[in-house]
Every structure is written in C-alpha cells, then in structure tokens.
C-alpha cells in the first residue's frame, strides 16, 4: 500500500474519531481510556494514544493502528478495513488494490446472503412447505409480518440452497465462506441449515449478514446461527437493528429472541431488537447506543432470564445507556404474553407494561426485598447490605445520593450511616480490584503464559532489557547507527524481540519516521495480530522518552551479559571443557 495513500488515510481517519463509533471514553492525561469493545470488562483498560494515533488494551492485549481497530471491531481483513476507511473519508483506493479479489469478499458474501434470503422466503411460501407457513400462522404471525422481516424456511434436503446458489453462478468456496454451507466427506458442499424457520439478520446498513434458524420439530439446538464470517460476528450484531434505528420512539426494547421481536412488532412497536443467542455484549451496547440512549429490557421471566437481566443492566449502564426493566404479568417471554391476548388487547396490555416499567435501580432494590420481611431486624439488615452493593455500582454521585436518601427514609436509618457503609463497600471493591491488577501485573512481569514471546520466561532479565532497548530506539532513532554497531539482532536472547529490533533498524535505514502510524501499520508485513499488539506496547512506554544513551548502553550490557551467562551455563551442563576453563578464569578475575 503506497505510503502517501496511507498517510492521507490516517490523517482523515484518526483513531479517536473511528473508535468513538464503538466505545465511550474519557480523558486520562494526554490519552483517552474506555471499556474495551473486544472483550467484556468492568474496569476500562483500552487506551487511545492520540499522539501516535494508536490504541492498546491492557486487558486483552489487543493494540495497533486505526486499521487494526477496524479489523477487530468489524471482523475484517486488512484490505477490507482499509477499503472501509477509504469509503468513510471519500478516498479512492489505488487501482491494483481496489480490484484485488480479496477486497471484494465482503460484497460477494452480502450477495450470497441476499440470494439465500430470497430462496428461503420463497421456500416458505411454496406449497410443499405449507406446514412451515402453518407453524408460523399457528403462532399468530401474520403474512404481512413474514414479509416485513423476510422470514423464510430452509428445506429438509441438504443440497437445496447449495444447488440454487451454484446455478446462480456463485462459487462453492464463497458459499462456504458465507457460513451457509460446509463440505461433506466427498468434498461436495451441503446446506448448513435444513428444516428450520429462517430469520435474516440484517445490519444497520441494510445488508443481509447472517441467519438465525429456529427448529420447528425436534432438532437440536433449538436455535442455530450462522458462524462468524468476514461480515458477521454474533457478539457484535443485533436482530432487527435495521428497523429499530428508524423508529420514532426514543428507546429500544431489548429482548432475547427473534419471536419476541416479531410479536412486539405486531403489538405496534417497531423498536424491538434481540441479541443473537448470547448475553448482551459491549460491542452490541455500543451499536445500539448509536441510535438510542435508553433501553427497556424485556427478557424472559424464568430463572435464566432474570439472571440475564441483572447482567444486562450492568453492561448497559457501563455503556452509558439508561435502563428500564419490563415486568411480565403473565407468560415466560414477551411472545407468550402478547399471544395470550386478542391483537387489539395485546397492543394495549404491552404498551401498559412499557409505561409501568421501572428504572434498573428500583427494579433491583424491589427484587432483593421480595423475599424479606423488612420489619424483622435480620431481614432489614440483609436488605440494607444488598442495597449498598447496588448503590456501589452507580457511578453518578448525585444519583447515588438521591437513592441513599430514599432508602434511608424508607428503612428509617440515618442517611450518613448508609453513606458511610457505602464508602466502606467501595473501598473493599477497590482493594479487590487492586489485588487483581497486581496479580495481572505479576503475570506480565514474569511473562507467564506469553504466547507472543515464549522464550521470555527463560531469559526474563535479558528480554526486559531487549524491550527497553527497542522502546529507547523508537524514541531516539538518531542513535540507531551507534546502537547497531554495538549490538546485532542476533545477540538478542529472544527471537521475537530480535526480529522486532531488526525490522525497526531496517525502517530507520530507509529514513522512515519510526513513531508514525504508517510505521506501526507496516509491521503487518511480517508480524501477526498478537505480535503487532505487543509491538504497540513498545511505542507507548512513556518512561523511555527521557532515557539517555547511557541507559541504552546499560540495556545492551544486560543483554550481552545474560546471553554470555546462559551460554556458559549451557556449556557447563554439556561438559564443554574449554568453556569451563574460561568460566573458572572469569571467577578468579572477578575475585581479584
């Protein structure tokens, strides 16, 4: 990729503007910090570094340039991430990249999925599959609703869809890459979905990206989704987000299943969405938060649904979304509730439930008090302890004060007593968090489970010196010639660090600005994603900005000394006479 093109791409797509579409963050000195969209966490650990236009997550170890961020966020290949950034900023890709076959992969999969959706829908409406249509109608689904969502049916034959798509001219490899087929023992492709009601999953841009399949007989599992592909990641998408984003309502109704969304739509609400068979994730929260700031949780009323509601409240709150909780008066889910009434009555009843839905704090306080007799001392104490834990999770000090006042009045205790206990609970949580941080830091320092640099635990002191030298070189590129005369990458004790050191020296030899985003991005030529994430850490070690050349010499001596020491120890173990004599002379000299 031409450097001039990349320079303009990075200029028009800085990491802050792109990352803000996927996460919320706040200031942390010169940098920004927020909850990582790539893994579930309670404490923010993803740092954005505007100066180097890069990011690094200290929780999951992912880091890199804005291209890396988009690759991870959208499950894209490198070229597709570049293409998406180019489209975002109105740039035109160089011809030989724009026409590259792999850059068109997403478009091909969108096309395959679109044709598959048409096939499944026409299959549902055919005479031979009228039992599938009857199943939906028996569950109260209107034909207009079937058309609205594009609901379909996958025939029981394992080759129906594949045959249709092959006849349309699609390649077998593209059908497999779309997640709609797999290879059988003879190397021929067969349908992934068969004998199921099919729900097209459509992204916010209107592309069919995957399918949710519901069994109508005794198939297991009950629900089956398309596996992750280059256009679909289960934990990053939501069913019916394409419709909900157009709703005039100022809130979304979040459910657990496709049929819940369908039933709620028929009750008069086009702002219902569903997770795709998993608990709500931070990427899903960031997706919905682009279009709304309030969510009404309408999860199942069974034990699993209540537990999922508690988890969802915490994640939605962390994502900056206001939460209300809908309480079903009958039925185990919104679909059952709505189907228990006549259509007009169902619309009124469900609308009433939404109006009566309570804020998440009130819901949780009410829940812990359900099985307690607050007139009894033990139960009163248990309620207050539970209430303190709930208030402890509220970050807004004003909201915390208001709830503390309300609870103290209700339970007839001094507000200051409650606030004192709240401060103690916060301190306790802070200590637990700090212990976890210390354990995590110890693992990093001792290089436990280091897959990127597996030699590090064996040569820990030398490896740390190597990393320090690499960071020094990044901040003091003018010293490259002197350093390279004193030490070679072959002198490094760990091959990974040696490879990074050599690569940086090669870039400096070409007069590249080593701290630029283009250089960070250039590591993708020879390094894997996990390796690039580790390399980004070398770029963000601020402690080496003010290091001196004497420090660099010290790092070099540590590396060479450790290597010499390990070499001698190895020779001693293999009984190398010359090395033993040399070692004895060295000991004798050191005593003098």
Rounded to an integer, what distance in angstroms lies between the CA atom of residue 375 and that of residue 488? 76
Greatest mean pLDDT among 88-97, 302-311, 451-460: 302-311
pLDDT (tens digit per residue) in 462-494: 888 888 888 888 888 888 889 888 888 888 888
pLDDT at 313: 93
In this structure, are strands 189-191 and 181-183 parallel, antiparallel, or unpaired? antiparallel
Q: Which top CATH class is 3-99?
A: alpha beta
Greatest mean pLDDT among 79-83, 117-121, 201-205, 366-370: 117-121
Average pLDDT, integer, range 325-349: 93
Count of Cβ atoms closer than 10 Å to residue 387 Cβ:
25
CATH architecture for segment(s) 241-364:
3-Layer(aba) Sandwich (3.40)
State yes or no: pLDDT of 453 exceeds 70.
Answer: yes
What are residue 275's DSSP bridge partners? Answer: none
395 CB-contact burial (10 Å; exposed 0-12 / middle 13-18 / buried 19+)? exposed
CATH, range 460-591: 1.10.860.10
pLDDT (tens digit per residue) in 106-157: 789 999 999 999 999 999 999 999 999 999 999 999 999 999 999 999 999 9
pLDDT at 283: 83
pLDDT at 587: 46
Average pLDDT, integer, range 397-411: 92
104-232 CATH, one of 1.20.120.1200, 3.90.980.10, 3.50.50.60, 3.30.499.10: 3.90.980.10
Q: What is the pTM of this model?
A: 0.71
State yes or no: pLDDT of 42 exceeds 90.
Answer: no
Rounded to an integer, what distance in angstroms lies between the CA atom of residue 169 and that of residue 150? 23
Average pLDDT, integer, range 552-558: 85
pLDDT at 290: 84
pLDDT (tens digit per residue) in 255-267: 999 999 999 999 9
State yes or no: pLDDT of 350 exceeds 70.
Answer: yes
Nearest one of 191, 205, 207 to 120, comparing CA atoms: 191
pLDDT at 77: 75
Contact indicator for 535, 525 with CB cutoff of 8 Å: no
Rounded to an integer, what distance in angstroms lies between the CA atom of residue 530 and that of residue 14? 22
State yes or no: pLDDT of 578 exceeds 70.
Answer: no
Q: Which residue has the higher pLDDT, 519 or 148?
A: 148
């Amino acid at each position: 990729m031409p450097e001039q093109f990349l320079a303009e791409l990075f200029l028009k797509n800085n990491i802050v503007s792109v990352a803000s579409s996927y996460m919320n963050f706040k200031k942390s000195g010169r940098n920004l910090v927020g909850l990582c969209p790539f893994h579930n966490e309670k404490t923010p650990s993803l740092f954005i570094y505007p100066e180097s236009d890069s990011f690094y997550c200290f929780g999951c170890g992912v880091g890199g340039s804005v291209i890396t961020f988009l690759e991870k966020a959208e499950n894209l290949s490198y070229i597709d991430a570049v293409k998406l950034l180019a489209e975002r900023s109105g740039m035109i890709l160089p011809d030989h990249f724009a026409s590259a076959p792999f850059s068109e992969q997403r478009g091909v999969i969108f096309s395959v999925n679109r044709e598959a959706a048409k096939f499944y829908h026409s299959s549902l409406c055919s005479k031979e599959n009228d039992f599938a249509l009857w199943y939906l109608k028996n569950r109260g689904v209107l034909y207009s609703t079937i058309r609205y969502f594009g609901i379909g049916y996958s025939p029981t034959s394992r080759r129906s869809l594949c045959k249709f798509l092959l006849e349309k001219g699609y390649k077998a490899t593209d059908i497999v890459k779309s997640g709609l087929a797999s290879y059988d023992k003879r190397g021929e492709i067969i349908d992934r979905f068969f004998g199921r009601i099919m729900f097209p999953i459509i992204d916010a841009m209107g592309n069919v990206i995957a399918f949710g399949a519901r069994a109508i007989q005794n198939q297991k599992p009950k629900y089956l989704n398309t596996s992750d592909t280059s256009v679909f990641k289960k934990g990053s998408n939501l069913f019916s987000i394409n419709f909900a984003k157009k709703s005039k309502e100022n809130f979304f109704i979040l459910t657990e299943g496709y049929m819940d969304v369908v039933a709620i739509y028929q009750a008069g609400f086009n702002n219902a969405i569903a997770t795709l068979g998993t608990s709500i994730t931070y990427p899903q929260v960031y997706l919905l938060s682009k279009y709304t700031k309030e969510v009404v949780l309408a999860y199942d009323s069974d034990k699993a649904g209540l537990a999922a509601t508690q988890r969802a409240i915490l994640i939605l709150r962390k994502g900056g979304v206001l939460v209300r909780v809908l309480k079903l008066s009958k039925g185990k889910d919104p679909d059952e509730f709505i189907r228990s009434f006549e259509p007009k009555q169902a619309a009124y009843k469900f609308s009433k439930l939404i109006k009566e839905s309570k804020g998440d704090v009130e819901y949780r306080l009410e829940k812990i008090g359900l099985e307690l007799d607050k007139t009894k001392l033990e139960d009163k104490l248990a309620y207050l302890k539970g209430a303190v834990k709930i208030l402890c999770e509220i970050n807004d000090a004003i909201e915390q004060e208001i709830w503390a006042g309300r609870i103290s009045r209700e339970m007839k205790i001094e507000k200051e007593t409650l606030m004192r206990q709240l401060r103690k609970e916060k301190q306790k949580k802070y200590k637990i968090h700090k212990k976890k941080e210390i354990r995590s830091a110890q693992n990093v320092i001792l290089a436990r489970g280091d897959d990127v640099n597996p030699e590090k635990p064996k040569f820990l002191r030398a490896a740390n010196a190597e990393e320090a030298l690499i960071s020094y070189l990044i901040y003091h590129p003018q010293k490259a010639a002197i350093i390279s005369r004193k030490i070679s990458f072959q002198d490094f004790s760990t091959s990974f660090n040696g490879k990074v050191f050599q690569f940086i020296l090669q870039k400096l030899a070409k007069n590249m600005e080593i701290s630029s985003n283009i250089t960070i991005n250039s590591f993708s030529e020879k390094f894997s994603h996990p390796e690039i994430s580790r390399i980004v850490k070398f770029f963000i070690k601020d402690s080496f900005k003010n290091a001196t050349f004497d420090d660099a010499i010290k790092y070099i001596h540590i590396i060479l000394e450790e290597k010499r020491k390990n070499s001698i120890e190895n020779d001693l173990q293999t009984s190398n006479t010359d090395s033993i004599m040399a070692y004895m002379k060295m000991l004798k000299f050191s005593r003098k």
